[in-house]
Structure 1
Amino acid sequence: MEDLRNSSLRFFSDQELCYADILSPAQARARIEVSVLNFLKILNASNPAISDLPLIERKLSNSRVSHDVLTELSSVFLSHSASTRSLMRSNAARAFVRVWKVMEMCNQILLQEKRVTQRELYYKLLCDSSDLFPSQTDVNRSIQDVVALLRCSRYSLGIMASSRGLIAGRLLLQEPGKDVVDCSVSGSSGHVISGDLNLLENLVLKTDARYLIIVEKHAIFQRLAEDRIFHQIPSILITAKGYPDMATRFLLHRLSLAFPDLAILALVDWNPAGLAILCTFKFGSVGMGLEAYRYACNVKWLGLRADDLHLLPEESLVPLKPKDLQIAKSLMSSEILQDKHKEELALMVQRGRRAEIEALHFNGYDFLGKYLAKKIVQSDYI
């Protein structure tokens, strides 16, 4: 199925679109070595120079939404427009050096046949080059720069996803050679999603669920799992405890391919951040535009939505924060929102209020399950 998606991507989409390859360790090391050799070649030329690094630009202005005609899946992609990291510009010199340092570390990781998380890589770089990498953000951006330069996935570079994700409900998981895990008996804590994408790729999956419900809030996930809502509604529950991490998105994408008839629904807060979380699951993110289509799936918005506000007490609606308005502005300026989502977002800004899922508990702690069942039966999602 993945091969089919890749071929359809190349055949039907705009040739300007750019994406990251999945490479073997040897192939990834070869790309690193070619980059180093090209750099040294320019340095040793008769007119030596330090070349700029041409990176695929990770900005909204360089992104677009590509529609796959076979799967009806929409994903964020980047075009071939490049930005540069230059040693000769004071505001980019440190970022320029960071790219080479992270590539060096990745080469060592691949040589040792290891995999590390971004957090582990941060501490390694902090101890080795603290002046270059004072924060985790510096490491994360440099990893994205290396991906944008080499055009291969971070997993190909030996960087493993850190996972916050949990899953529960009508799903059987089995790692090769290990016992089957029944996610319906994992309790309110759910089953922890591994950060090893290779392991997730090779899981044997079985389900009789009809719905997969993405839950923004960890506490709401726990409530639904404790109430065993998946026996009332034949479903799988999944949460990333807020903004989605790579591993949770990867597993969700895998489930969407393995079970194409599974309706994927999102339960998020009625605020711009909730809609941004939904869009990240649905389209991927601009920052990961080179890899986005491997982490996207066709998610529908179940709730909370404007027509649910009558279920909540007025006192539970709190003012939008400046960050909410900033997120709303960014979403409105993108091409990814469909009209109904834009209408919801415009209404949030117009009212200047936000609502959280927990406010539904005003109607009783067993109300949330009834709410979901009614919305699903009425096919009340967009």
Structure 2
Amino acid sequence: MSGGKGKAEGTTDKLEEFGEGILYDIKMKRNPKFTVTTRTRSNIKYDDKDGFLRLGNSKEEHSFINVAQAKRFMQTVAIAAKCHDFVKQNLHTTIRGLFYQLKYSLGEDIDENIFNEQSESNPLIEDLEVALGIKREYMHLNANRKGVLAGNMKVIDRFGDDRIEIDTGKTGRSGWAIPSDVDNDIEFVDVKAKYVIVVEKDALWQRLNEDGFWKKENAILISPQGQAARGTRRLIRKLADQGLPVYVFNDGDAWGWYIYWTIKTGSMNLAYIGRDIATPEARFIGVTMADIEHYDFLKNLTMRATEVDIKRAQEMLNYPWINRHKEWVAELKKVLETKKKLEQDTLQGPRLTFVDDYIREKIKNRDFLP
């Protein structure tokens, strides 16, 4: 996807059609309403053919003349109107900024604000995305940046009136900060890497960057710095679309594995854009419970799994997109049986540069999980 005037015009048109539909209902003395695909867990499906989570076909109607829905309806219309202003003015803000734009009183004689907490506005932004078929980035709403990259490629960033070319192989120790929107006015060119390696923790990313791992291996090195934000997941998807294999290197516990699965299949809360942010072809190179048997030094470096770790592992065993893989069932059951886990940092035990050897060996031997 590429940004530009066409996207802005399309977004403006959809927002205006949304508002005009409500005005037409009022003019015709009908109950103003709009329809949205239901974002409940029961309406989230695993697309077996394409390998990602998506929304099903269940719909729900949001109307104004409904005591249970009136406030949410009004709040959604307020968000749409404000986003229309942002697009027309060609100004961007964060979802936090939008909340403050709308955190004001309904009137002098009404002791109530449009929004009191951001937890009220966030799900309504998602409702609007689903109802109009527009990603929030096209409505000029960004999230906080999260994620860093280094590697053999260039980024063309059209920012304001400038066209900036960024060589992500020349960003030093800090790397290139991945923006929340990697579609509009951003282009990835001159991609010369052989593969993408996604490293859960920033500390391990820094270790590999200092070693020049991505230079030696001709790779693109990414850290989502924990759970991957949607901008980072979208970037991984775009790189996979260019034919690059994607390998993920996370902690050997249910949380690290869950982060992997959100990259691979998308997540339930973002199932409405699953096709755009999931990378089903991604493979998990570690850390795994099987590594404990393969690398003797790890036997003394395990940690005790917490109750939260155990609960998450049990939940993951119930997900059909995970328990269809016998390798993953074995890994999760091993956690439940031994109540142990491994951090990826343990691979620095023999020597700091062992992490490099571990990744090389895993990829060379195709020793990874689906």
Partner SS for 1:381 = coil
Choose from 37, 58, 65 the match for 2:46: 65
- Cα distance per residue 1:329-369 (max 9 Å; x no partner): 44333332241223322322333332211122222222111
Query: Do residues 319 (structure 1) and 300 (structure 2) align?
Result: no
- CA gap 1:91/1:348 in 2 versus in 1, 3 angstroms: farther
Give the whole-Å Cα distance in 2 for the aligned partners of 1:59 and 1:335: 17
Alignment length (residue pairs) = 353
Hey, what does 2:207 align to over in structure 1? Answer: 223
Deviation, 1:199, is: 4.9
Q: CA RMSD in A?
A: 2.9
Hey, what does 1:188 align to over in structure 2? Answer: 173
Please tell me the residue identity of whatever aligns with 2:99.
Answer: Y
Aligned 8 A contact 2:287 2:344 in 1:
yes
- CA gap 1:158/1:355 in 2 versus in 1, 3 angstroms: same
Choose from 211, 234, 237 the match for 2:218: 234
Deviation, 1:84, is: 4.5
Please tell me the residue identity of whatever aligns with 2:43.
Answer: N
- CA gap 1:128/1:362 in 2 versus in 1, 3 angstroms: farther
Give the whole-Å Cα distance in 1 for the aligned partners of 2:233 and 2:185: 11
Structure 2 residues without counterparts, runs of 5 or longer: 107-111
Aligned 8 A contact 1:201 1:254 in 2:
no
Give the whole-Å Cα distance in 1 for the aligned partners of 2:65 and 2:338: 49
Deviation, 1:212, is: 0.8
Partner SS for 1:254 = helix
Query: Do residues 301 (structure 1) and 284 (structure 2) align?
Result: yes
Hey, what does 1:12 align to over in structure 2? Answer: none
More displaced stretch, 217-226 vs 58-67: 58-67
Give the whole-Å Cα distance in 1 for the aligned partners of 2:65 and 2:125: 21
- Cα distance per residue 1:190-244 (max 9 Å; x no partner): 111233434564232321x222100111111111111111234331110111111
TM-score normalised per structure 2: 0.84
Partner SS for 1:29 = helix
- Cα distance per residue 1:158-195 (max 9 Å; x no partner): 22343211101333334467565333332332111233
Give the whole-Å Cα distance in 1 for the aligned partners of 2:165 and 2:10: 34
Choose from 356, 365, 368 the match for 1:378: 365
Please tell me the residue identity of whatever aligns with 1:80.
Answer: N
Aligned 8 A contact 1:151 1:290 in 2:
no
Aligned 8 A contact 2:154 2:188 in 1:
no
Structure 1 residues without counterparts, runs of 5 or longer: 4-21
Aligned 8 A contact 1:221 1:237 in 2:
yes
Please tell me the residue identity of whatever aligns with 1:103.
Answer: A
Give the whole-Å Cα distance in 1 for the aligned partners of 2:20 and 2:317: 43
Query: Do residues 367 (structure 1) and 367 (structure 2) align?
Result: no
Hey, what does 1:197 align to over in structure 2? Answer: 182
Hey, what does 1:55 align to over in structure 2? Answer: 36
Hey, what does 2:149 align to over in structure 1? Answer: 167
Choose from 100, 110, 114 the match for 2:77: 100
Hey, what does 2:58 align to over in structure 1? Answer: 81
Deviation, 1:127, is: 5.2
Hey, what does 1:274 align to over in structure 2? Answer: 256
Deviation, 1:147, is: 0.9
- CA gap 1:27/1:306 in 2 versus in 1, 3 angstroms: same
Hey, what does 1:8 align to over in structure 2? Answer: none
Aligned 8 A contact 1:316 1:355 in 2:
yes
- CA gap 1:149/1:247 in 2 versus in 1, 3 angstroms: same
Choose from 249, 261, 271 the match for 2:233: 249
Please tell me the residue identity of whatever aligns with 2:21.
Answer: N
Give the whole-Å Cα distance in 1 for the aligned partners of 2:57 and 2:43: 8
Give the whole-Å Cα distance in 2 for the aligned partners of 1:302 and 1:252: 16
Give the whole-Å Cα distance in 2 for the aligned partners of 1:325 and 1:54: 39
Deviation, 1:250, is: 1.9
Hey, what does 1:284 align to over in structure 2? Answer: 266
Choose from 246, 259, 266 the match for 1:264: 246
Deviation, 1:308, is: 1.1
- CA gap 1:357/1:92 in 2 versus in 1, 3 angstroms: farther
Give the whole-Å Cα distance in 1 for the aligned partners of 2:137 and 2:124: 14
Please tell me the residue identity of whatever aligns with 2:87.
Answer: L
Give the whole-Å Cα distance in 2 for the aligned partners of 1:133 and 1:271: 38
Give the whole-Å Cα distance in 1 for the aligned partners of 2:104 and 2:349: 50
- CA gap 1:175/1:108 in 2 versus in 1, 3 angstroms: closer
- Cα distance per residue 1:259-309 (max 9 Å; x no partner): x1x221000111222122111111222222222211122210010111112
More displaced stretch, 335-344 vs 217-226: 335-344
Aligned 8 A contact 1:174 1:205 in 2:
no
